[in-house]
Structure 1
Amino acid sequence: MGRIIAVANQKGGVGKTTTAINLSSCLSALGKRVLAIDMDPQGNMTSGLGVDKDNVEKTVYDLIIGRATVEECLCKEVFENLDLLPTNIDLSAAEIELIGVENKEFIIRDEVAKIRGNYDFVIVDCPPSLSMLTINAMTTADTVLVPIQCEYYALEGLSQLMHTIDLVKERLNPDLEMEGVVFTMYNARTNLSLQVVENVKDNLDQTIYKTIIPRNIRLAEAPSHGLPINIYDPKSSGAESYMLLAEEVIHKGEE
């Protein structure tokens, strides 16, 4: 049964989509069968995995409004062992279309349940807001992985996210757990990055992944080529870090 991890942080620009793309790809490179689900209307995960979001026939939006089955929406083997449920800007209309729909919080969960058995991991890229789409992702997920940028305001908004996770757990998905926190955009040359990491460790009663993702030019370039970092530049520090993170995620599930 696939382990479903939602990658979430309502603060934009923290490396959330970068983490969702590269964790998915590195898990698949380690021989795991992976489904990546793009729940962010910007569709950056879709294009970052080399799929043209504007020309894709069926997307998560079609799935949510009941216009397509989950099988019809799948882009199979975008890379070896890696399938994708793509998204584009159409998804931004889903919030409005779902007004008054019964059990709207569970649409994605019920659809993904049909194919979950085909995968070892399902990685969901959430939108950078606490919206109905994020709630759908969290009712589907087993755990939430939170990327945190190593910067001064890192903890801001985190308590709000934790509160949302607690609410979803209390009312909609009692099995939801916190996967943990992963630090992104770490700059070894600044004391600030180090202080942020220490500060979060002191203030957060959560699992913190040992792997820290560095600031890395290659990591920033990869999406424009539609490639995950482990394929774009496997020897870069970004690729090595995401491979280590993938191994940690696998290991955590086996504990």
Structure 2
Amino acid sequence: MTAKIIALLNQKGGVGKTTTAINLSDTLAKQGFRVLGIDLDPQGNFSKVVSGGEVRFEKNVLQLFQKDNNVDISQLITLSPHSDDFFYIPTDIRLSRVIESGLTLSFRELRLSKHLNSVKADFDFIILDCPPNLSLTTTNAIVAADLFLMPVNSGVFALDGLEDLLDALQEVSQGQELHYYVFRNEVAAVNKKINNAIDEDLLEIASQRVLRTTIRRSEDIGQASFMYLPLSQYKNGSVAINDYRALVKEITSLL
């Protein structure tokens, strides 16, 4: 089996993209899948949590995008302390600078894909946590991924930028069929009127490509990240655990 590559995308920050990437990866690993998480966001929040709190990494994703491009990606992969089936490649705060300097390189959108081809057979899923922008890093993820997941929250500007992101996906895909889905994150059950309005707009903007699964708002998720833990390690009885399990079930059925 060749790994299915899933990219977590949204050019808006604060929508729960990274916490979804962490807990989706952790849930898949807990179900026996071999998972590789790759942190493409220079902010490094994914790396901090899955490493158990580390902030500096000698081997990191930066090396995949440097000009010499001779690194063996398998040498950058580290086992997460949270699971025997959860591996990761951390990021580096200098990633944005290296990406900018690589704008003139040939086949620059294909660099990540070429590296991943050498390790796809070793994993069931590869999860890409993308930065909150449409940088060259995100473009590499779009080219590499089999499935795009776009979380939106319940904020007043929740859907801002979603149409632009979908347009960018269409442009990068160059006419190929896109396999993308949007899903609701941080859903507060008390705001039924707001939730219904967002759901209606979301179905229209996303051309009905909206997952049934929603992730409920829970303080446990943020507290787990603060403690550098996936949710299952912090509070296995949290209501959101079932939501992430439902998300895995729906995603695996789609793939």
Report the TM-score, using the length of structure 2 for normalisation: 0.92
Match of 2:196 among 184, 194, 200: 194
Shift of 1:97: 2.3
Q: How does 1:168-207 map to 2 (within 5 A)?
A: 168-170=172-174, 174=176, 177-190=178-191, 191-207=193-209
Q: Which residue of 2 aligns with 1:160?
A: 164
Q: How does 1:35-50 map to 2 (within 5 A)?
A: 35-50=36-51
Q: Which residue of 1 aligns with 2:20?
A: 19
Shift of 1:88: 2.2
Shift of 1:243: 1.3
Q: How does 1:36-75 map to 2 (within 5 A)?
A: 36-65=37-66, 66=69, 68-75=71-78
Q: How does 1:214-233 map to 2 (within 5 A)?
A: 214-233=216-235
Structure 1 distance, partners of 2:128, 2:52, is 16
Can you list the C-alpha shifts for 1:76-110, whole angstroms capped at 9, x where unaligned? 24422111011020212122220321111111110
Gaps of 5+ in 2: none
Q: Which residue of 2 aligns with 1:97?
A: 101
The alignment yields a C-alpha RMSD, in angstroms, of 1.6
Structure 1 distance, partners of 2:100, 2:206, is 35
Q: Is the 8 A contact 1:49 1:223 kept in 2?
A: no
Distance 1:40 1:5, change over 3 A: same
Q: Is the 8 A contact 1:53 1:88 kept in 2?
A: no
Structure 1 distance, partners of 2:194, 2:80, is 40
Shift of 1:203: 4.2
- After TM superposition, the structure 1 stretch with the greater mean CA deviation from structure 2, 41-50 or 147-156, is 147-156
Aligned length: 250
Q: Is the 8 A contact 1:76 1:83 kept in 2?
A: yes
Q: Is the 8 A contact 2:23 2:230 kept in 1?
A: yes
Distance 1:69 1:47, change over 3 A: same
Shift of 1:38: 0.6
Can you list the C-alpha shifts for 1:4-31, whole angstroms capped at 9, x where unaligned? 0110000111111111111111111111
Q: Which residue of 1 aligns with 2:249?
A: 247
Given residue 220 of structure 1, which amino acid in structure 2 is its aligned partner? G
Q: Is the 8 A contact 2:51 2:80 kept in 1?
A: no
3-state DSSP class of the match of 1:227? Answer: coil
Shift of 1:192: 1.3
Q: Which residue of 2 aligns with 1:4?
A: 5
Q: Is the 8 A contact 1:151 1:192 kept in 2?
A: no
Structure 2 distance, partners of 1:184, 1:113, is 31
3-state DSSP class of the match of 1:49? Answer: helix
Q: Is the 8 A contact 2:182 2:206 kept in 1?
A: no
**Identity of counterpart residues, as a percentage?**
31
Q: Is the 8 A contact 1:21 1:49 kept in 2?
A: yes
Q: Which residue of 2 aligns with 1:31?
A: 32
Given residue 124 of structure 2, which amino acid in structure 1 is its aligned partner? D
Gaps of 5+ in 1: none
- After TM superposition, the structure 1 stretch with the greater mean CA deviation from structure 2, 11-20 or 189-198, is 189-198
Within the alignment, does 1:84 sit opposite 2:88 as a pair?
Answer: yes
Structure 2 distance, partners of 1:50, 1:194, is 38
